[in-house]
Amino acid sequence: MKVLDAKFVQGFIRMCNDGWEQGWHERNGGNLSYRIKDEEIAEIRDELKVTDNWQEIGTEVPKLAGQYFMVTGSGKYFRNVILDPEDSCSIIEIDETGSRYRILWGMVNGGRPTSELPSHLMNHEVKMAASGGTHRVIYHAHTTNTIALTFVLPLEDEVFTRELWEMATECPVVFPSGIGVVGWMVPGGRDIAVATSELMKKYDVAIWAHHGMFCSGEDFDLTFGLMHTVEKSAEILVKTLSMTSEKRQTITPDEFRALAKDFKVELPEEFLYEK
């Protein structure tokens, strides 16, 4: 099968374009990676070619040794993915030590996988273990309203989680484990990857202060939907804070507990503090 005909490749391209249409990917902002299933690799095996030397990832992900990923390219624009996916994306293989990768498809006009590859792969490693192998998608986007909130709210997991839960009744059901926050750090390296993947042990969402968001999920729909839900909630909070500094009414801790019971989700008590 041609790589471009594979269902996961079509899903990958569609998600890039959906993110672009949301306004989350100015210029080359944001990146996406997908951990490819064995049977999906088997389908496209004929088109994968070794034309590249092994390259350093910049961190170690031993549990991902031998795995294959589809990733967006560094400096590539999400708005172009749908027009020329072979220029904007690549399929890479991780070596047996988990410290190097090589390109097997894509990047036809040169280039490298996203500069956030250390964060993507360290998040994949953590989420693969935490989810029993079901999580396959890591998505980074420059979500406008969430970024705006990082200038206004304390950079604390408890505050971001609770404030964003309050903004839409579906939120605690969509991200019941909450949201982690990383204070401002230099992007693109191992340090921010370590900090983010530490939070990903507990959460499916991590916010990078003054930068954007990372989400993890099982498939493209769930991961895009998670990013979309958090960002929509942030938009409501931005609108609310623009009207007033004090909410007249909101969802209370006991109402969250009632919601959790009916929707059969567990909401950690650390987020249900009295204000």
Q: Nearest approach, Cβ of 31 to ligand 13P (angstroms)? A: 4
For ligand 13P, the closer CB: 172 or 212? 212
Task: Tell whether residue 74 is a contact of ligand 13P (CB under 6 A).
Answer: yes
Q: Which does 115 bind (CB under 5 to 8 A by kind): Zn ion, ligand 13P, none?
A: ligand 13P
Instruction: For residue 180, state whether it binds ligand 13P (rule: CB under 6 A).
Output: no
Question: Which of 15, 28, 172, 229 touches ligand 13P (CB under 6 A)?
Answer: 28
- The DSSP secondary-structure symbol of 245 reads S
Rg (the chain; Cα; Å) = 19
| 116 catalytic residue (yes or no) | yes
Smallest gap from Cβ 147 to Zn ion, in A, equals 10
SS3 per-residue string spanning 184-235: CCCCCCHHHHHHHHHHHCCCCEEEECCCEEEEEECCHHHHHHHHHHHHHHHH
Q: How many residues contact ligand 13P, by CB under 6 A? A: 12
For residues 204 and 223, give the distance between their C-alpha atoms in angstroms, rounded to a whole number.
9
Structure tokens at 109: 């006009």
116 is a contact residue toward ligand 13P (CB under 6 A): yes
163 by Cβ neighbours in 10 Å (0-12 / 13-18 / 19+) ranks as buried
- Of these residues, 116, 163, 231, 235, which one is catalytic? 116
Residue of closest CB approach to Zn ion: 212
Q: Which is nearer to ligand 13P, 188 or 253 (CB)?
A: 188
Site for Zn ion in 199-238 (CB under 5 A): 212
CB closer to ligand 13P out of 140 and 232: 140
DSSP state of 91: E
Any contact of residue 235 with ligand 13P (CB under 6 A)?
A: no
Asked if 31 touches ligand 13P (CB under 6 A), the answer is yes
Long-range contacts of 104-108 (CB under 8 A, 24+ apart): 104/48, 104/49, 104/50, 104/52, 104/68, 105/3, 105/44, 105/47, 105/48, 105/49, 106/3, 106/73, 107/73
Our CB check for Zn ion shows the closer of 67 and 146 to be 146
Element (H, E) at 182: strand 179-182
Q: Stretches 45-53, 69-77, 172-180, 267-275: which one binds ligand 13P (CB under 6 A)?
A: 69-77
Residue 123 interacting partner from ligand 13P, Zn ion, none (CB closer than 5 to 8 Å by kind): none
Rounded CA separation 153/244 (Å): 15
Rounded to whole angstroms, how far apart are CA atoms 20 and 91?
21
* Min CB(72)–ligand 13P separation in Å: 6
Positions in the binding site for ligand 13P (CB under 6 A): 28-31, 72, 74-75, 114-116, 140, 187
Q: Can you give the binding site for Zn ion, defined by CB under 5 A?
A: 212
